[in-house]
Chain A
């Protein structure tokens, strides 16, 4: 079923409004910025493919599921899909950027010490502020499993030496 013009506009608005969040979600889950953008792009593409059905429901949840499910090796698709851009977006520079990069690295390194499930649960809970019941539903796991994964992850993060040194410095 083709997507009518109004649907296309809706979709473009949806992408514009949620891309930053989806890229961040993918980055937190994968720990890799480039792969995160690929995953977010693929998630949005799959949402567009199902747009007539998805738009009336929860398209953000659909994209989230695509991103989380596709957290696998991305090297192969990049070789086929990467397309050159005529212009490269401006890169911000300066001290703010350096500080932001450091902050990001600390977070990603800390998350990388969690298991994949713990990482996803932490991100859904504390980045997207999803309640445990919704995380349970989206991941297809028991609510008790969400709770225990969350507790384990928070325990690990609190015990993380690098975070501790950052917190006390």
Chain B
């Protein structure tokens, strides 16, 4: 390019030759698309139920209560109501038939978590009612070896939702597991500190693990973010003592 172009021409050639042409795998795309569609359909049903539960939790000020959707293996008949939501997590259902409500904030959002028979932990955060592709659903999110417990790290990897979400695209839910001794976790993101309560999730082996979901606010004008923006992750017990700290946290 020997001359700079006029006002409405681009100085760089965005149509440069393709150095490494690649073909996407349509089979994989279709498989993934089918899973998304199935999930959306089933989550729509779930969302209505969870919305009711979330409203109830807000009214009563209770967080961390359980919502029974699945028949317990040996529970009383009254708790054995099988509903269409069974299909939502049919691949990895909660071992005890219960989803834990982790958070009912921000408004119109619910976050739930559950432990599977295999010892993994899953979570889902979604708008109630569902709107398009803004839901987050990962199962399993943390495999059994990543779930904090005896002889294992006290903090799991902290993971974000894929899409910035409510209410204006500036809040992103990040979820993590922590030892059940923790009551609160603080996360430093883009230099600001955010805090979340820890909710116990019962595991099949009789222990609990703690889950927290912290909604991190993106600074104005930021459209991308990553784990490198998290510079601190510290868990405290009820007395305010530090019980766990991620390696990236400065002591």
- Interface presence of B61 (CB below 8 A): no
Residues A42 and B18 in contact, CB atoms below 8 Å apart = no
Residues B29 and A126 in contact, CB atoms below 8 Å apart = no
| Interface stretch (choices B92-100, B177-185, B222-230) | B222-230
Chain A residues positioned under 8 Å from B37 (CB to CB): 48-50
Chain A residues positioned under 8 Å from B11 (CB to CB): 110, 154, 157-158, 160, 163, 167
* Binary flags per residue of B163-188, CB closer than 8 Å to A gives 1, else 0: 11000000010000000000000000
* A70 → B minimal CB distance (Å): 6
* B166 → A minimal CB distance (Å): 14
Residues A104 and B19 in contact, CB atoms below 8 Å apart = yes
Chain B residues positioned under 8 Å from A96 (CB to CB): 17
CA–CA, A70 to B225, complex, Å?
Answer: 11
- Interface presence of A103 (CB below 8 A): yes
Known: A20-B21, A72-B224. A41 touches B29 (CB 8 A): yes
Q: Count of chain A residues with Cβ under 8 Å from any Cβ of B?
A: 68
Chain B residues positioned under 8 Å from A157 (CB to CB): 10-12
Residues A107 and B14 in contact, CB atoms below 8 Å apart = yes
List residues 18-45 of chain B with CB under 8 A from any CB of chain A.
Answer: 18-26, 28-30, 32-34, 36-37, 40
List residues 97-112 of chain A with CB under 8 A from any CB of chain B.
Answer: 97, 99-101, 103-104, 106-107, 110-111
Residues B20 and A92 in contact, CB atoms below 8 Å apart = yes
List residues 2-17 of chain A with CB under 8 A from any CB of chain B.
Answer: 8, 11-12, 15-16
Chain B residues positioned under 8 Å from A123 (CB to CB): 14
List residues 67-100 of chain A with CB under 8 A from any CB of chain B.
Answer: 69-73, 75-77, 80-81, 83, 85, 89, 91-92, 96-97, 99-100
Chain B residues positioned under 8 Å from A83 (CB to CB): 28
Chain B residues positioned under 8 Å from A73 (CB to CB): 160, 224-227
Please classify how large the interface on chain B is, using the bins under 10, 10 to 19, 20 to 34, 35 or more.
Answer: 35 or more
Residues A110 and B12 in contact, CB atoms below 8 Å apart = yes
- Interface presence of B118 (CB below 8 A): no
Known: A45-B29, A91-B20, A106-B12. A72 touches B225 (CB 8 A): yes
Known: A51-B33, A107-B14. A116 touches B22 (CB 8 A): no
List residues 149-169 of chain A with CB under 8 A from any CB of chain B.
Answer: 154, 157-158, 160, 163, 166-168
Chain B residues positioned under 8 Å from A116 (CB to CB): 221-224
- Interface presence of A135 (CB below 8 A): no
- Interface presence of B56 (CB below 8 A): no
CA–CA, A24 to B14, complex, Å?
Answer: 9
Known: A12-B26, A75-B227. A127 touches B33 (CB 8 A): no
* A68 → B minimal CB distance (Å): 9
- Interface presence of B58 (CB below 8 A): no
* B126 → A minimal CB distance (Å): 15
CA–CA, A72 to B226, complex, Å?
Answer: 7
- Interface presence of B1 (CB below 8 A): yes
Chain A interfacial positions (CB closer than 8 Å to B): 8, 11-12, 15-16, 19-20, 23-24, 28, 30, 33, 37, 40-42, 44-51, 66, 69-73, 75-77, 80-81, 83, 85, 89, 91-92, 96-97, 99-101, 103-104, 106-107, 110-111, 115-117, 120, 122-123, 125-127, 154, 157-158, 160, 163, 166-168
Chain B interfacial positions (CB closer than 8 Å to A): 1-4, 7, 10-26, 28-30, 32-34, 36-37, 40, 133, 138, 157, 159-160, 162-164, 172, 221-227
10 residue pairs A–B, Cβ–Cβ below 8 Å = A11-B26, A15-B26, A20-B18, A42-B162, A45-B32, A46-B33, A77-B162, A97-B19, A123-B14, A126-B10
